[in-house]
A and B are shown apart, each in its own frame.
Chain A
Amino acid sequence: MFFRLLFYACCLSSFLSAHPHVFIDTKVQVLPEKIVITWSFDEMSSAMLMDDYDKNRNKKLDPDEIAFMEKDHFRTLEPYSYFIHMSDGKDEFDLKRVSEFSASFEAKKLIYTFAIPKPKFKKYELRFYDAEMYVALILKKEWLSCKEPIKCKIEGYDADFYYAYKVMVQE
């Protein structure tokens, strides 16, 4: 009984230790050869990141600033699978490869665009969540586009201890 209580308390406390502070509007384009993701950060997080990476304070991201941002910020998200997890419906796979990274600062928001390779499956899910729940990735139907004949739709996804979004793709 004691250990069971302790176990439940531990589970409860892990549930009670995080909540979102960074909000990313996520756009997904499923193309025949790749998937293009666009992250649009909330204004507050954008201001913080720009303070770190817009070294010359011109409110634009120059190529060398983008390169440093990619190395110093974006690539550090690899251990978190860039908050994108692929699944064939049974197993979940972390994202190992991203390409075509670019960043810009538009309408007071920091925008990241990058491409991810398509999985080999005909039917798969892209699950968008941060396991530590510090970042909330928000997806909306109007932010999803799929090149015909690919079909896709957005649904809620149970990320173990909170709900996130997933995109279901049928090639």
Chain B
Amino acid sequence: MGRQEYTGIPGWARALAAVAAVLVVLPLLAMVLRVDWTHFVPLVTSEPALTALGLSLRTSAASTVLCIVLGVPLALVLARDSFRLQGLLRSLVLLPLVLPPVVGGIALLYTFGRQGLLGRTLDVLGLQIAFSTTAVVLAQAFVALPFLVVSLEGALRTSGFRYEAVAATLGARPGTVFRRVTLPLVLPGLASGAILSFARSLGEFGATLTFAGSLQGVTRTLPLEIYLQRETDPDAAVALSLVLVAVAVAVVALAYRRPAARAGAGEQPTTTAAPAGGNAA
């Protein structure tokens, strides 16, 4: 880690890197400076705030589970299989990363909304998804899925499938190979992908507001609550923002922490859990 080795970093890169760091850190600092510490605890423990925080944590957890259940098979198919239009599928799956969340919300509305593509069928079955807690989870999963898929697909690619081939010749059926070999090998990638998905779900705002609305206790997550409070009670908005920042920092720190000795400095090149893709929220 020392400075002994030549790095080849030009001086101007260091200067611009400092500017970049300021760009990210300064606004956060400015916000912290505006926090009304005397009323901080009452502000963040008010009934609407706690309701919103609870809803946020519950829906984000649900959406992360949904991302894992659907994203792991998707990443597996994208990384290991080969079929027509695979490249196109990969691009489309990553689309939510670059799409404005509001657009995602509108798209979801025209799919699951009452007048939507599937909405009428669901209506007949007595299911109304739009403007429900389910809608919140769907909106979050829509924007968070690419984080898990990108992260896991990278891990699957680097690990290759030679271990799987050996496992198969030892008599393990595909399900066993997946459970006992593939999954443990890419666990670091899966973990960081899941954590990033959780963080992205926690920060979801645009798609949620468009597709799920802002109903207290049902669809009003913490970001929506903050946006609402900003109009009436800026101090509360700032205090709640700080809570969200704290949660996000904890989550990101968890995702990027060095894989400890537990992960085992194995021969396989996957142990460095490098989550690909941009940063969340």
Do the two shown chains form a genuine complex with each other? no
